[in-house]
Amino acid sequence: MATTQPLPGVQNRQLSPGLEQDLSELLRHARDLLGHDQRAAALLLDRAAQLLPAPASLPARPGGLAPWQVLRLTRYVEAHLDRQILQKDLAAEVRLSSGHLARSFRRSFGCTPHAYVMEQRVGRAKALMARTDMPLCEIAIGCGLADQAHLSRLFRRLVGSTPLAWRRQHQPAPRGGAGAGRIRLVAADGRSGQDCFA
């Protein structure tokens, strides 16, 4: 078994033997799945990341959130990106009023809670587009957005290009003939739905 070198800028933290074994198994299974099931591999990697302990300390900014609040909010947003996230829910998560959260959040994160959530949604969309072949409409829903059009508007505003153009630049070309990458969604009652680009 090869030894691993510590990553620059990452502290070498001791893990409990049980946690180390769980992480090792998850990472081994993810590596084995990478070649033929990227979606399952991505889920295993996400689970492994959730098991890692939090950094020992996060610097607090004067007038901003406490380190535990920053950590709790980032984890809450990450865990709930697939659904609606309201400012009042974020405030309740760290036991603050909505107004106080808005002021403190801006000091700690440098943006509003809404802007932060939207940036995280686009970040998850980018990761899914780069790692999977999921259609953009499924990615949009999985990132808590209303539909593919909502993803496209938000993506263009924050990234400067459309999701489809970004995906083409960051993912190998799809195999298939003409029309590859386009699917047609069908409603539950059998009626034809909207076109969706993969």
For the question of whether the overall pTM of this predicted structure is more than 0.75, the answer is no
Q: What is the DSSP string of 6-29?
A: PPTT-------HHHHHHHHHHHHH
Rounded to 5°, the CA angle 118-59-111 comes to 25
- Alpha helices in 80-112, H assignment, sequence order: 87-93, 98-109
pLDDT digits over 65-87, tens only? 999 999 999 999 999 999 999 99
> Which stretches does DSSP call E strand in the chain?
182-186, 192-197
Q: What is the structure's pLDDT at 42?
A: 72
Distance CA 16, CA 40 (A): 26
Confidence label for 9 from pLDDT (cuts 50, 70 and 90): very low
Rounded to 5°, the CA angle 17-68-109 comes to 120
How many CB atoms are located within 10 Å of the residue 181 CB? 16
Q: Are 151 and 139 in contact (CB under 8 A)?
A: yes
Assign domain 26-51+63-171 one CATH number from 3.40.30.10, 3.40.50.300, 1.10.10.60, 3.40.190.10: 1.10.10.60
Query: What is the domain partition of the chain in residue ranges?
Result: 26-51+63-171
pLDDT digits over 39-62, tens only? 777 777 767 766 666 544 445 567
Confidence label for 4 from pLDDT (cuts 50, 70 and 90): very low
pLDDT digits over 85-106, tens only? 999 999 999 999 999 999 999 9
